[in-house]
């Protein structure tokens, strides 16, 4: 996978951090420097969960390295790609129906404490864990760990901080639109991987 693909995936996964941090910052008084620190915490947890997911996916992969070139290997590789596709579709649907639904209300957790940011990071990082699990079925974690984790950390930090800034200014955020864009990015990524490998 190219670095551009990882960047597109990181953008899609970062939209939830933007939505969550916007909702929290609009309800609590938080300094921008603290918002930056909490954004970095959330981004670090998302990146860590992505890496964990990739390693677990590598362990659960159907295709053993010992098969070499064979029709059995091709069949198992197809199974790995289908598992990846299914997990990506699940994450996209989760984003659309949870964050992108009309009834969705922005969370209003008190993010003035770092403990809350740590818990939010885990909640936001669930999608990263699932996407990492899917990627682990398709690609080798050892070769791609930094190309996957670094863009996610940087982009999630920026998006989460942007959410804090917009929330502090009480700017309106069309969370449904952002969730749908994120879901479309993930679906496009998944279909590209399933069709072109």
Provide the pLDDT for residue 129: 94
Burial 158-188, CB ≥16 within 10 A → b, else e: bbbbbbbbbbbeeeebebeebbbbbbebbbe
Question: Quick one: pLDDT at residue 115?
Answer: 83
Residue identified by tokens 């791609």 is: 144
Residue 156 has pLDDT above 90, yes or no: yes
At 139 the pLDDT is 83
Tokens found for residue 46:
């998302």
Angle at 35 between CA 32 and CA 40, to 5 degrees: 130
What pLDDT digit, counting tens, does each position of 36-76 carry? Answer: 999 999 999 999 999 999 999 988 887 665 555 655 656 66
Residue 159 scores a pLDDT above 60: yes
Mean of pLDDT values over 150-175: 88
pLDDT, position 149: 93
Taking residues 168-195, report their average pLDDT.
79
Of 179, 17, 156, 159, the residue nearest 93 (C-alpha) = 179
What pTM, to 2 d.p., does this model score?
A: 0.84
Range with top average pLDDT, 105-114, 143-152, 187-196: 143-152
Domain ranges across the chain: 3-196
pLDDT band at 100 (very low <50, low <70, confident <90, very high): low
Residue 107: helix, strand or coil by DSSP? Answer: coil
What is the C-alpha to C-alpha distance for residues 28 and 195, in angstroms, rounded to an integer?
Answer: 45
Output the average pLDDT for the chain: 83
Tell me the average pLDDT across 106-115. Answer: 73
């Amino acid at each position: 996978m190219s670095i551009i693909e990882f960047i597109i995936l990181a953008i899609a996964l970062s939209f939830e951090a933007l939505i969550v941090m916007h909702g929290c910052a609009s309800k609590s008084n938080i300094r921008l420097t603290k918002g930056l620190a909490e954004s970095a915490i959330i981004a670090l947890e998302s990146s860590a969960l992505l890496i964990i997911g990739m390693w677990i996916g590598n362990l659960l992969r159907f295709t053993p390295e010992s098969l070499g070139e064979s029709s059995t290997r091709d069949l198992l590789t197809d199974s790995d790609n289908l598992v990846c596709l299914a997990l990506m579709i699940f994450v996209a649907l989760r984003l659309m129906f949870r964050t992108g639904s009309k009834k969705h209300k922005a969370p209003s957790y008190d993010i003035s404490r770092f403990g809350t940011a740590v818990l939010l990071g885990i909640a936001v990082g669930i999608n990263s864990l699932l996407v990492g699990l899917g990627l682990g079925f398709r690609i080798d974690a050892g070769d791609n760990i930094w190309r996957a984790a670094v863009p996610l950390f940087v982009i999630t930090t920026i998006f989460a901080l942007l959410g804090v800034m917009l929330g502090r200014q009480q700017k309106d955020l069309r969370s449904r639109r952002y969730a749908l864009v994120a879901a479309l990015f993930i679906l496009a990524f998944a279909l590209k991987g399933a069709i072109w490998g």
